[in-house]
């Protein structure tokens, strides 16, 4: 026997058409076909409209064959692998990208937001979602398949199956984009940084390498820097650095035309030299450099040893600072050589 509304083949005892939900008895009555009384339902049959909720629920339950077939079609080739897995390694390693790849767009965006908010414990979030991915995914797919069935209830099973295949599956393009964008950003940042550093080193006249023992000066103070030092040359600041096998040597010359006058070098040191609580600060003493008396203070921090030399003239204050690591004294001969070369010209 066939349904008189849609033509679907049905058994004689079927009450409602499994495809369109039509009342079989009512349709037979309409066309005056003989009905076996023993197959008649005891209750008075009632006509079910196309939008009736009972008809929809019945059709949703019995139409289009097994729901698992439609879900399998929606998921695609990896249905069996995802179904049996207890931990999603794809989710763990790719995170939100795998969600977007599986067309879980809204959930993927929520995943990204949660990853940012919970960044200190992001690893726990990834593990938890990786464990629950199968349940999240199939629950979402089931709802989408039910929606497809509802929106296409007048279609045959094969058509519904093809719609599930088309709307399901994966989105390879968005996954590729999500992978390429960070790579492009990182590469661009590296190129920009490298280019910036190259321009700073090669094009900036303030930075250069001392290729031979050269004499330099700052205001009226002259000195010689040994070969191999890198020079950073500015108007009122000259800094020279040298990497050795175990140490980093730095000597800095600055000059200040003081606006606030200082009575002596000690006041200048106390007002301008910054120290930490953990530093060991030695008492200020006097040393002779370039036939002049300079005030000197030594500061030992956790990782470095600093020496500060200050000379006050009528109009300017000169400051020399040396810095080296405390575990090695390879810088000392260089500093002694530079300080010995100092010449102050009136």
Which pLDDT score, from 0 to 100, does residue 11 have?
Answer: 77
Question: pLDDT digits over 303-326, tens only?
Answer: 889 999 999 988 889 999 999 988
Is residue 183 one of the residues assigned to a domain? no
- Whether the CB-CB separation of 21 and 59 falls below 8 Å is answered with yes
**Last residue of a domain, which of 27, 43, 63?**
63
Is residue 184 one of the residues assigned to a domain? no
- Total structural domains within the chain: 3
3-class DSSP state of 32? coil
Is residue 12 one of the residues assigned to a domain? yes
* Domain match, 307 and 326 both: yes
Is residue 126 one of the residues assigned to a domain? yes
Which pLDDT score, from 0 to 100, does residue 179 have?
Answer: 87
**Last residue of a domain, which of 63, 97, 115?**
63
Q: What percent of the chain has pLDDT over 90?
A: 37
* Domain match, 254 and 306 both: yes
Q: Which domain holds residue 256?
A: 207-344
* Domain match, 106 and 152 both: yes
pTM of the model: 0.43
Is residue 287 one of the residues assigned to a domain? yes
Which pLDDT score, from 0 to 100, does residue 45 have?
Answer: 46
Is residue 57 one of the residues assigned to a domain? yes
Which CATH number belongs to the domain containing residue 290 in this structure? 3.40.1000.10
Is residue 302 one of the residues assigned to a domain? yes
* Domain match, 215 and 330 both: yes
* Domain match, 33 and 8 both: yes
* Domain match, 105 and 218 both: no
Those residues of the chain that have pLDDT short of 70 are 5, 27, 29-66, 193-206, 258-260
């Amino acid at each position: 026997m066939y349904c008189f509304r849609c033509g679907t083949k049905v058994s004689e005892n079927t009450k409602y058409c499994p495809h369109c939900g039509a009342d079989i008895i009512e349709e037979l009555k309409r066309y005056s076909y003989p009905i076996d009384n023993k197959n008649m339902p005891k209750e008075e049959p009632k006509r079910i409209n196309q939008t009736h909720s009972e008809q929809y629920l019945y059709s949703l339950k019995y139409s289009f064959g097994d729901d698992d077939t439609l879900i399998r079609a929606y998921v695609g080739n990896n249905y069996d692998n995802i179904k049996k897995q207890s931990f999603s390694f794809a989710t763990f390693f790719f995170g939100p990208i795998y969600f977007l790849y599986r067309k879980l767009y809204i959930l993927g965006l929520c995943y990204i937001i949660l990853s940012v908010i919970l960044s200190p414990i992001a690893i726990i979030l990834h593990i938890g979602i990786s464990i629950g991915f199968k349940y999240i995914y199939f629950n979402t797919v089931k709802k989408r398949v039910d929606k497809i069935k509802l929106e296409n209830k007048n279609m045959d099973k094969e058509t519904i199956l093809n719609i599930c295949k088309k709307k399901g599956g994966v989105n390879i393009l968005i996954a590729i984009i999500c992978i390429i964008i960070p790579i492009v950003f990182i590469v661009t940042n590296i190129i920009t940084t490298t280019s910036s550093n190259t321009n700073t080193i090669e094009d900036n006249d303030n930075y250069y390498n001392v290729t031979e023992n050269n004499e330099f000066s700052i205001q009226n103070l002259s000195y010689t820097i040994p070969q191999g030092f890198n020079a950073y040359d500015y108007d009122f600041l000259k800094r020279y650095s040298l990497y050795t096998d175990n140490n980093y040597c730095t000597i800095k010359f600055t000059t200040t035309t003081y606006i606030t006058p200082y009575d002596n070098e000690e006041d200048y040191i106390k007002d301008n030299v910054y120290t930490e609580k953990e530093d060991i600060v030695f008492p200020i003493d006097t040393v002779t450099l370039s036939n002049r008396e300079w005030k000197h203070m030594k500061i030992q921090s956790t990782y470095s040893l600093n020496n500060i030399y200050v000379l006050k003239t009528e109009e300017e204050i000169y400051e020399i600072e040396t810095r080296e690591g405390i575990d090695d004294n390879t810088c000392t001969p260089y500093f002694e050589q530079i300080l010995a070369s100092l010449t102050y010209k009136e």
